[in-house]
């Protein structure tokens, strides 16, 4: 069996989340939202034999709380990239406190020099929806990914109830108003202004709007960049909501998941596993 098949199977065991397993097994999903199951590097070594360490790259979002690599990534050669200096510092402190090795780079991904290094696994979670040149990003990741490597991407569909991240608003009405981000841009800006948001906060919400992504747009991008979809799972209730709100994860019913455009309005997160 080819090496990437072992990697895919190990990741699939985690991504294909079952609500019962999620609640009963701390190995399937934890509060830190681990995406790589604990035995991944062990399976990989047994498959490749001569490889002592798995090269894993994590980009953006999940570095900000320092939890870019918890139990599952022990034994892996971890590299983390984030544009925010504070995120890099937190990640370094997190690793240092646990005697774990990792390389953390404070850089824009488009300015990162890998010095020819490629990775078996690249993880991009809750990040692609904040990046404007998405096709360029996927093309760059393709160059960083080994020919038998795998790419995990997770993102919320823009049209879902809180796809505009309006829950971050300090205004109670906006923070608890689903779909308000779907208002026309000018009207959305006016509402944010009327409830007292500063110009910088308004720009933040409008930037999120401008870089939005839907399921259909994402799948179109994967075809353009010649990625193959190994696995995808759409969720009605984001697994991360179990930690935040005590809600059990729920997969999107297949009949709805097959409906283009409509599914975006009820898909709180999308999990994709891609290969070259």
DSSP 252: P
pLDDT score of 34: 37
Tell which residue, 37, 13, 48, has the closest CA to residue 149. Answer: 48
Q: Are residues 185 and 146 in the same domain?
A: no
Q: Are residues 199 and 260 in the same domain?
A: no
pLDDT score of 87: 83
Q: Are residues 83 and 129 in the same domain?
A: yes
- Give the pLDDT confidence of 5-45 residue by residue, as tens digits: 555 555 555 555 443 443 433 333 333 333 333 333 333 33
pLDDT average per 10 residues of sequence, the chain (276 residues): 53 50 36 36 36 74 48 67 86 82 88 88 91 96 91 94 95 96 97 96 96 97 95 91 86 95 97 91
Instruction: Write down the pTM of the prediction.
Output: 0.82
- Give the pLDDT confidence of 215-226 residue by residue, as tens digits: 999 999 999 999
Q: Are residues 201 and 154 in the same domain?
A: no
pLDDT score of 139: 96
Domain of 93, in residue numbers: 3-161+212-275
Buried b (16+ CB within 10 A) or exposed e, 6-19: bbbebbebbbebee
Q: Give the CA-trace dihedral at 46, 51, 53, 58, to 10 degrees.
A: -100
Residue 132 sits at the vertex; the CA angle it makes with 129 and 133, to the nearest 5 degrees, is: 115
Q: Are residues 68 and 185 in the same domain?
A: no
Alpha-carbon gap, residue 57 to 122, rounded angstroms = 5
Q: Are residues 11 and 65 in the same domain?
A: yes
Q: Are residues 254 and 193 in the same domain?
A: no
Domain with residue 35: its CATH number is 3.40.50.150
pLDDT score of 141: 95
Sheet containing strand 103-106, edge to edge, reads 103-106, 76-82, 54-59, 119-125, 145-155, 269-275, 228-237, 250-251
Question: What percent of the chain has pLDDT above 90?
Answer: 49
Alpha-carbon gap, residue 58 to 94, rounded angstroms = 15
Q: Are residues 194 and 222 in the same domain?
A: no
Q: Are residues 76 and 196 in the same domain?
A: no
Count up the domains in the chain and report the number: 2
On the CB side of 28, how many CA atoms lie within 13 Å of its CA? 16
Q: Are residues 247 and 184 in the same domain?
A: no
Q: Are residues 85 and 23 in the same domain?
A: yes
Alpha-carbon gap, residue 134 to 117, rounded angstroms = 22
Q: Are residues 132 and 147 in the same domain?
A: yes
């Amino acid at each position: 069996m080819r090496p990437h098949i072992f990697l895919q199977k190990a990741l699939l065991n985690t991504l294909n989340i079952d609500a019962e397993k999620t609640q009963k097994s701390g190995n399937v999903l934890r509060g830190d939202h681990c995406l790589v199951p604990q035995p991944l590097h062990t399976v990989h070594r047994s498959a490749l034999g001569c490889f002592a360490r798995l090269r894993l790259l994590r980009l953006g979002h999940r570095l900000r709380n320092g939890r870019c690599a918890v139990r599952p990534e022990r034994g892996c050669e971890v590299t983390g990239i984030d544009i925010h200096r504070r995120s890099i510092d937190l990640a370094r402190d997190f690793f240092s406190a646990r005697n774990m090795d990792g390389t953390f780079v404070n850089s824009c991904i488009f300015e990162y020099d890998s010095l020819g290094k490629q990775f078996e696994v690249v993880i991009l979670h809750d990040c692609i929806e904040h990046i404007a040149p998405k096709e360029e990003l996927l093309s760059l990741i393709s160059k960083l990914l080994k020919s038998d490597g795998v790419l995990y991407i997770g993102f919320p569909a823009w049209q879902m109830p809180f796809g505009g991240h309006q829950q971050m608003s300090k205004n109670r009405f906006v923070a608890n108003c689903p779909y308000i981000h779907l208002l026309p841009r000018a009207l959305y800006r006016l509402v944010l202004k009327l409830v007292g948001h500063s110009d910088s906060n308004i720009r933040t919400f409008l930037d999120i709007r401008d870089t939005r992504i839907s399921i259909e747009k994402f799948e179109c991008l994967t075809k353009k960049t010649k990625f193959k979809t190994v696995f995808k799972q759409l969720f009605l209730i984001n697994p991360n909501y179990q930690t935040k709100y005590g809600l059990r994860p729920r997969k999107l019913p297949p009949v709805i998941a097959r409906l283009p455009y409509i599914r975006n309005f009820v898909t709180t997160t999308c999990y994709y596993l891609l290969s070259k």
